[in-house]
Structure 1
């Protein structure tokens, strides 16, 4: 494959922190690379360097002479401030006549996928942030650049827009042509478009073959191997320290040598990764009734957002909401939270309900911008119960990923991802029993997302999530609803895939799905009426039970397989290998793998009934 561009021994330092330290890498024709890493570790910095929008402190960036690069940063602006006064059409296609650009199928596809619902004659300055993002992305994609670099391209895109963008990028070039570099927290999107993954961490870049799923598996194996090495290191350290404790205090020369040996042994032990351990926070008791919208209609200006809809939230329900931009997803959360009064109908609220809502803009932190991170949490509580232990606010924010130095940073100086982490923590320590999250994945890196999902996965209250992140919705919610902009709410037994099919049907003039308005609801607030030829409600319930049971069995079997792999690894590392023991372990491993395959087939059969 021909070389497109690359970096040779580049380094970047901000103040006293080294972001990139002697990094060398290259992008070849046919590469589709997704970048992952913690917030602040240098993903966007590396992309700007490779796009030659900034220069490194040391080293150089190289590019083949004839290669052109298209670059989209995180700002929602079309290149050049003067473009704010242009119309949408002029900003995207310039002065081309309609018949010129409309004759190009690629441009028509981009227009239909990104800006079909944006007013062609509107001024850029009058658009919302999401619309500006779509216009900027459309302008980039109608070009013919050899390399495309996208920094968080899925921000402000709905589920349908993300699916369209993934398909467009997969079909844009032949497999051995062009180059793509993407920074995104959307793990489904990474899996769809990436053939390689770069992990940016600690000033270096580690490369992995495959998309996000392959990267997670490879990193898990890397960490497992590191854990084996670390385990041996710790055993040696313990022996050294035990020897020191047994040694006579009067003996100086030999203990001194031993101390130096022990220090050398642990000198390169890395600092532990930031962790998030907020599970099992105490929550107020929920009664039988939580939040019910009964026959609710709502008009905003001349637009009717909801028409006689009924939605019932049950204790412990985990509900995901998807929908087209402007359909009222955020407004639905505000209705449930009592911030917006319906035009007709009513909100019924349980007596013990305590709600908390995370907005997209994290406006809730504006009034504490002058305070420091620890002080914000101390305003809520100075001592908190986490995992059955009492911890101080300072200890808790450290577990959330704020180092000692960052704990004393004013809230106004935090990054977007840090602000969202802080506000989520602030909400949780307030002990709500109904938590509503509006696009919670914005500005969070994949490691933080995984940690947040662990918290939400074990959170015992009622959870409502509005998100375009399919990975998040499938992980933390059990059912999904769709808002299609027609004033109704539709149940999605088939999840996000069913929503995308609904949108395709709507575009072709048809409509399917199970509307909620005017129909009786079950305990989870959704109807279970099957489509033509679909499963019965009883079959659907049984399939969901089967899925839960099978997933538990698969988790148990997976743990047993992992344990046997560790035993085989330990046995294989010994000087005298016990071949009989290894044979027994291998036989057991094959049996468990066969059992796991059978469980996977059962899972697929149950998932097919549910349309998942």
Structure 2
């Protein structure tokens, strides 16, 4: 076991985030952490990383475990270059080993100017440097808090592949459902200060969660049925409540006092919209440049009345610029943007507007309106907040007490409550929990107006979009029918294929073979690693023979042996490769 956290308790003021919870992490395990905004996910990761102390309980990592942690707000030195920041705290030998990999990872994360100073970077760029720093360091455990934030879809796909191949253990807070589906093998939900574990990926979690909810509801229906019968008996009169019926009375009182399954809050809101005429938003031969660089060139499009458009592209390519042109927040250098007379735009920007930390949550919504008209009737500001998971206490609390995700949710509520008929959403999935994302998607499905959304969330794009605009960073905007996966498939089909002659592998004799520094060190130590694993497996088998009658211990030992056997197989495959490479290098020297 690499890491154990037992009986952890942590509060935030009067609010208990974690109460007597435990978590155990085994070698090679990949654990996804989910939960509502403000539930305590980041707090759990901080405690596991040793960045925050629990009020009760203890975290015990294996003394030989190397652990790397990516927080939501990583520290940095303003005068450090990108490479200096990535290598901060590493000795010269470790820097030499990680040098090439660091440059490769930074480049894949869109940061190729390695001498640039950290103080000149945006918040998203600084976070990507921090992510690179974590990924290139030797580690047995990675603790990643929202690693996909501020990554474009292509970077997210690369990171997903990286973590799928990575052999160490992983604990990751994320709302990226494709990540949870494709990377993790176990999930934990932080809810009501407790941890609930689920074996498998996101799909397995959804299936098991639905089963548990159905079982809880069935048990509650049975309890209510028994309670009604017992109530009728109790109300029959004194004759039925003689001394021999005392046990039955106690049973009734026990059933009456039981709490049913807690109704889980959900964001449920009938789509709010004002009437939209035939004309919505039309761009005609629009161009826009900044500092001599054209980001949108001669682009024309019209949003249909019920359109669902996804806008994708690398960071800095011009996605937000396109949305701002549609919204009329930016004027084009050439061309025209026309809005229909009945258009009411709701613009959900990438950054929250300034919020008065002393203003009460309910007053923030009342600034939009005391009463909100919906398709289902009139809602008060308080009722609307309840549908967006803000409890009565939170509604009358100052905004400054909300988490980042809760502020994001409040901002989204204020946009939707104004009843727009054209929604322009810039990174709406950042900092929103999965429940809120799911209901936002359901909301958009029933929204009677047009929607255009910039997003890196591939799941969201696939579920929401009917067409996708790619902004390529060179001024071109191209359209593909469908969502992100459809665009990805079309790109593969259009990719030029090299002639057969070019695809042939070059003869090995034309290449100068040599070990990398990392391979050389691995070759020198791998036989010792194999011997140690064989010794460990023999010891585990001996322990199983000695504890054959203890089924609990036997199961644990068998699981440990299976993991060790898997590691041994990987080491043997690696030994074969390195030995073969060494023989070819030696043969090359003799030629």
Q: What range describes the TM-score normalised by the shorter chain of this pair?
A: 0.7 to 0.9
In structure 1, the residue matched to 2:57 is 59
Aligned twin of 2:426 = 438
For residue 474 of structure 2, give the secondary structure of its aligned residue in structure 1. Answer: coil
Checking the alignment, whether the CA contact within 8 Å between 2:463 and 2:483 is kept in structure 1 is no
TM-superposition CA deviations, 1:569-600 (whole Å, max 9, x none):
xxxxxxxxxxxxxxxxxxxxxxxxxxxxxxxx
Q: 8 Å contact 1:237–1:266 — kept in the other structure?
A: no
Determine which of 153, 156, 161 is the counterpart of 2:155.
161
Among 259, 282, 294, which residue is 1:292 paired with? 282
- Equivalent residue runs for 1:174-193 within 5 Å: 178-193=168-183
Deviates more, 1:14-23 or 1:345-354: 14-23
Q: Deviations over 1:344-378 (max 9, x none)?
A: 00001111101010111111xx2554421112222
Distance in 2, matches of 1:379 and 1:442, equals 24
Tell me what 1:273 maps to. Answer: 264
Matches of residues 101-500 of structure 1 in structure 2 within 5 Å? Answer: 101=96, 106-115=101-110, 117-173=111-167, 178-242=168-232, 261-262=252-253, 264-281=255-272, 283-363=273-353, 366=354, 368-493=356-481, 495-497=483-485, 499-500=487-488
Distance in structure 1 (CA, Å) of the matches to 2:339 and 2:497 = 38
Kept in 2: contact 1:237–1:262 (CA 8 A):
no
Query: Is the Cα contact below 8 Å between 1:70 and 1:140 reproduced in 2?
Result: yes
Deviation at residue 439 of structure 1 after TM alignment: 0.8
Q: Which residue of 2 aligns with 1:85?
A: 79
Distance in 2 of aligned mates of 1:257 and 1:488: 77
SS at match of 1:66: coil
Residue in structure 2 matching 1:47, options 32, 42, 45: 45
Q: How far apart, CA to CA, are the structure 1 residues paired with 2:42 and 2:14?
A: 19
Give how far 1:118 is off: 4.0
How far apart, CA to CA, are the structure 1 residues paired with 2:448 and 2:478?
Answer: 25
The structural deviation recorded for 1:325 is 0.6
TM-score (norm 1): 0.75
Q: CA deviation at 1:205?
A: 1.4
Task: For 1:4 and 1:358, locate their aligned partners in 2 and report how far apart those are by CA, in whole Å.
Answer: 42
Range with bigger deviation, 410-419 or 148-157: 410-419
| Greater CA drift, 182-191 or 235-244 | 235-244
Indicate the structure (1 or 2) with the bigger Cα radius of gyration. Answer: 2
Equivalent in the alignment of 2:14: 16
In structure 2, how many angstroms separate the alpha carbons of the residues matched to 1:107 and 1:426? 42
Distance (whole Å) between structure 2 residues aligned to residue 151 and residue 240 of structure 1: 50
Pairs within 5 Å for 1:559-570:
none
CA–CA distance in structure 2, aligned partners of residues 127 and 266 of structure 1: 58
Residue 422 (structure 1) shift: 1.3
Decide whether aligned partners of structure 1 residues 99 and 380 sit closer, same or farther in structure 2, where only a CA change above 3 A counts: closer
**Residues matched between the structures, number:** 496
Separation (CA, whole Å) in 1 of partners of 2:399 and 2:392: 14
Deviation at 1:389, TM superposition (A): 3.0
CA distance in 1, matches of 2:458, 2:202: 14
Instruction: Output the CA distance in 1 between the equivalents of 2:490 and 2:120.
Output: 30
Other structure's SS at 1:380 match: coil
* CA pair 368-23 structure 1, distance change in 2 beyond 3 A: closer
Gaps of 5+ in 1: 511-612
Alpha carbons of 1:90 and 1:448: their partners in 2 closer, same or farther (altered >3 Å)? same
Indicate the SS of the match to 2:443. helix
Distance 1:219 1:367, change over 3 A: closer
| Rounded Cα–Cα distance in structure 1 between residues aligned with 2:93 and 2:170 | 29
Cα 1:398–1:9 change in 2 (3 A) is: same
